[in-house]
Amino acid sequence: MSGGAHPVDKTCVSCGRTITWRKKWERDWDQVRYCSAACRRRGVGEVDHELEDAIGALLDQRARDATICPSEAARQVARDRGLEEWRDLMEPARRAARRLVAAGEIEMVQQGRVVDPSAARGPIRIRRASRGGYRLV
């Protein structure tokens, strides 16, 4: 790359976090899909897709501007799978939400404000993306 310009950031296909260009990826930046070895191993499985679907279904049942907590999706998928412990699905539910943010389908909010899903810490809420197609990148 000449002039110090770096390619545009990407989104990890597994966790939905932002992947920032690094010098070590200069030769194969086009093939980079995961932010870490852990995400590469984890990938996106059946439960991940179920959580994405659950988030969509829960939002479809609510008013257009209503929010849900990722725990609602985790509980629904745990119930559907006959699992007793839904808390094990909380981080996968947050990953599913981040992937949906990257796809432009939803927004992640804290205290009513849209937040960067890669930087959000603590309790979050999820809502459908604004009509204007606004997407935090």
CATH number (domain holding residue 60): 1.10.10.10
What number is the average pLDDT over the span 105-115? Answer: 93
Position 99 in a domain: yes
Q: Is the pLDDT of residue 87 over 90?
A: yes
In this structure, are 29 and 87 located in the same domain? Answer: no
Q: What is the mean pLDDT of the chain?
A: 88
Q: Is the pLDDT of residue 135 over 50?
A: no
H-run or E-run covering 11: strand 10-11
What is the residue range of 31's domain? Answer: 10-42
Position 3 in a domain: no
According to the 3-state scheme, what is the secondary structure of 69-133? CHHHHHHHHHHHHCCCCCHHHHHHHHHHHHHHHHCCCEEEEECCEECCCCCCCCCCEEEECCCCC
In this structure, are 61 and 124 located in the same domain? Answer: yes
Q: pLDDT at position 131, please?
A: 56
Q: Residue 88: which pLDDT band, with cuts at 50, 70 and 90?
A: very high
Position 2 in a domain: no
In this structure, are 29 and 52 located in the same domain? Answer: no
Encode pLDDT of 30-61 as tens digits: 888 888 889 889 899 999 999 999 999 999 99
Domain count, the chain: 2
Position 133 in a domain: no
Position 4 in a domain: no
Among 2-11, 27-36, 60-69, name the most confident range. Answer: 60-69
